[in-house]
Amino acid sequence: MKKWLQKGRFLSLFAMLALLLMGCGDPTLSALIPQGEVADKQFQLMLISISIMILVLVVVFVLYAFVLLKFRKKKGDNSTPKQVEGNHMLELLWTVIPILLLIILAVPTVMRTFEFSADAKPASKNELSIKVTGHQYWWEFEYPKEELITSQELVLPADTKVHVELSSADVIHSFWIPSLAGKTDTNPGDKNKNYMWFDTGSKTDVVYKGKCAELCGASHALMDFKVRVVSKEDYKNWVAGYKAADDKSSANADGQQVFEKNCLSCHAVGQNGGNTGPSLTGFGDKDRVAGILEHDKENLKKWIKDPQEVKPGNNMPKVNLSDEEIDAVSDYLLGLKLK
Ligand code: CUA
DSSP-derived secondary structure for 292-312: TEESSHHHHHHHHH-HHHHST
Condensed to tens digits (0 to 9), the pLDDT of residues 24-62 reads: 678 888 889 999 999 999 999 999 999 999 999 999 999
For residue 223, the CA-to-ligand 1 centroid distance in Å is: 6
Of 156, 145, 337, nearest in space to 245 by CA? 337
For residue 215, the CA-to-ligand 1 centroid distance in Å is: 5
Which range, of 137-141, 185-189, 269-273, averages the lowest pLDDT? 269-273
Does ligand 1 lie within 6 Å of residue 222's CB atom? no
For residue 207, the CA-to-ligand 1 centroid distance in Å is: 20
Q: What is the structure's pLDDT at 23?
A: 66
For residue 171, the CA-to-ligand 1 centroid distance in Å is: 8
Q: Which atom of ligand 1 lies nearest, measured to the CA of 137?
A: 1
Does ligand 1 lie within 6 Å of residue 166's CB atom? no
Residue bearing the CA closest to ligand 1, atom 1? 173
What is d(CA 194, CA 151) in angstroms, rounded to the nearest whole number?
A: 19
Give Dmax (Cα) for the chain.
Answer: 97
Section 179-189 average pLDDT = 95
Condensed to tens digits (0 to 9), the pLDDT of residues 198-232 reads: 999 999 999 999 999 999 999 999 999 999 999 99
Task: Name the burial class of residue 166, with classes exposed (0-12), middle (13-18) and buried (19+) by CB atoms within 10 angstroms of its CB.
Answer: buried
Q: What is the structure's pLDDT at 79?
A: 83
What is d(CA 162, CA 129) in angstroms, rounded to the nearest whole number?
A: 6
Q: Are 156 and 229 in contact (CB under 8 A)?
A: yes
Task: Name the burial class of residue 223, with classes exposed (0-12), middle (13-18) and buried (19+) by CB atoms within 10 angstroms of its CB.
Answer: buried
Q: What is the structure's pLDDT at 173?
A: 97
Q: Return left, alpha or beta for 140; rule: phi > 0 is left, psi -120 to 50 is alpha, else beta.
A: beta
Does ligand 1 lie within 6 Å of residue 132's CB atom? no
Of 208, 188, 189, nearest in space to 198 by CA? 208
Q: Which atom of ligand 1 lies nearest, measured to the CA of 217?
A: 2
For residue 265, the CA-to-ligand 1 centroid distance in Å is: 24
3-class secondary structure, 233: helix
Does ligand 1 lie within 6 Å of residue 135's CB atom? no
Q: How many beta carbons lie within 10 A of that of residue 38, not counting itself?
A: 24
For residue 273, the CA-to-ligand 1 centroid distance in Å is: 25
3-class secondary structure, 141: strand
Q: What is the structure's pLDDT at 4?
A: 64
For residue 213, the CA-to-ligand 1 centroid distance in Å is: 6
The share of the chain scoring above pLDDT 90, in percent, equals 55
| E strand segments, the chain | 128-135, 138-143, 148-151, 153-157, 161-168, 173-177, 181-186, 194-199, 206-212, 224-230, 288-289, 293-294
Section 68-97 average pLDDT = 87
Q: Which atom of ligand 1 lies nearest, measured to the CA of 220?
A: 2
Whether the per-residue pLDDT at 7 is higher than 90: the answer is no
Whether the per-residue pLDDT at 86 is higher than 90: the answer is no
